[in-house]
Amino acid sequence: MAAPPPARVFGLRSGNRTAATPRRRQLIAGTTRTPAQIQKDRHAVKISNKWPIPRTRRIKESRGIHRDGNSCYQLASLQALLHLRKFMNWILTHNVQMDEGIQNPCDDGALLAYSCVACLIKRLIFKYWGLHKLDTAGHPVALPTHDMDMKAMEAVADHWYLPEGSGMIRGQQDGEDFQFKVLEACILSTDCHRELDKRIPRLVQTRETWVCRRCDHPIPNPRTYLNMHPDPELGFLAMRILRTGRETIEDVIERKLADEPCIVTAACPHCNQENPPKTRQYCIEAAPEILRIALAVGSHDSAGNVLKERNPVQFEQTLDLTNFQHDQNTPLRYRLSSVTLHQCETLHVGHWVSTVQGYGKKVFAINNH
């Protein structure tokens, strides 16, 4: 399957842990997972992977959102988030009254344009998947342009893109950047104590190793363990697609993690060279539950003009990253959840759309208009 670039791919980690049978659990008990991965999985397993749809809603299909002005970049990115089950169930733990007090309360630092973004996303989840506005046959009706929560989202976007007093007018923005900002705001409001492993959609933790190019043996890296390069935040960012015509997502990720020259001074204990030439390599130390892959939308030509990247990239329904891990004995497979695309010749205008997998594995091409 080839898709026109640029694409945003959201992969959901395949549920080999949540759907564990007793036999599978035994296997996991004897796992070779890294401590960082075990800790991440411990939190992820507590979050439900069910659709947040009430039993009483008979027709469980996705619904549209009517567009008001240049907001397709917001709608396409939100539609992708509204089809990520673990993300939604994670956000639904925000600001919940419990016996012992409020769980994951709103964070003052995350209040934007008088809205808590996490509370806003929560309300949208209830509306989108709940009993809100069903037609007589029970089909969900698209959210109208005057929907209060969509208006609040617009105010949040204005806060991000139209600084007060800048005189700028509301226009098209980068859907990927908008989604990144929404996720960042959600993390602030659900994880004010900054516990890395509790962040469901965040952090590909990588491990950096050094290899002696004289004898091909590893050189101990004193900064061992979690080196945050490359792109730890919110999955893989600004991934470049080469003009080969045959690029796959795996190729793009492999290049991101591939060897590069390392200029650190260090001796090789194997060949006893004082400071041999060496390369650094990265492997995945701990993978997030939800992986977000953002492909670069633009590049510069020799005159410095911004051009839209149009190189094609191929991807399948599943993405196997097992061999990119430090621990290659535990499968690391993601299932594709959604793709968000920008359609147009140039980056300054155009239209954003999403293809998502909805309830019952039905695929919807969502073009909010």
Binding site for Zn ion (CB under 5 A): 95, 106, 116, 118-119, 189, 212, 214-215, 268, 270-271
Q: Which is nearer to Zn ion, 32 or 272 (CB)?
A: 272
Q: Which lies closer to Zn ion via its Cβ, residue 189 or residue 206?
A: 189
CB of 106 to Zn ion, least distance (A): 3
Which one, 92 or 116, has the nearer CB to Zn ion?
Answer: 116
Cβ closest to Zn ion, residue 60 vs residue 159: 159
- CB of 298 vs Zn ion, minimal distance in Å: 34
Instruction: Kindly write down the DSSP assignment for every residue of 97-142, as one continuous string.
Output: EETTEEESPPPGGGEETTEEHHHHHHHHHHHHHSSSSB-TTSPBPP
Q: How far apart are CA 300 and CA 317, in angstroms?
A: 31
Nearest approach in angstroms of CB 279 to Zn ion is 12
Sign of CA dihedral 358, 362, 368, 369: negative
Residue 85, sorted as left (phi over 0), alpha (psi -120 to 50) or beta, turns out to be: alpha
Strands 290-295 and 298-300: unpaired
Q: Minimum distance from CB of 214 to Zn ion (Å)?
A: 5
For tokens 């945050």, the residue is: 228
Instruction: Report the C-alpha gap between 247 and 3 in whole angstroms.
Output: 11
Instruction: For Zn ion, give the closer residue by CB, 173 or 189.
Output: 189
Give the nearest distance from C-beta 211 to Zn ion in angstroms. 9
Toward Zn ion, which CB reaches closer, 53 or 267?
267
Question: CB of 127: closest distance to Zn ion in angstroms?
Answer: 16
HSE value, Cβ hemisphere, 13 Å, CA-based, for 53: 21
Distance CA 269, CA 252 (A): 33
Residue 134: strand pairing partners:
140
Token pair in block for residue 63: 């619904």
Is residue 356 within 8 Å of 337, Cβ to Cβ?
Answer: yes
Give 212 or 241: the residue with its C-beta nearer to Zn ion: 212
Question: In whole angstroms, how close is the CB of 42 to Zn ion at the nearest point?
Answer: 25
Q: Give whichever of 212 and 313 is closer to Zn ion, judged by the CB atom.
A: 212
Six token digits for residue 189: 């409001």
CB of 118 to Zn ion, least distance (A): 4
Q: What is the 3-state secondary structure (H, E, C) of 73-97?
A: HHHHHHHHHCCCHHHHHHHCCCCEE
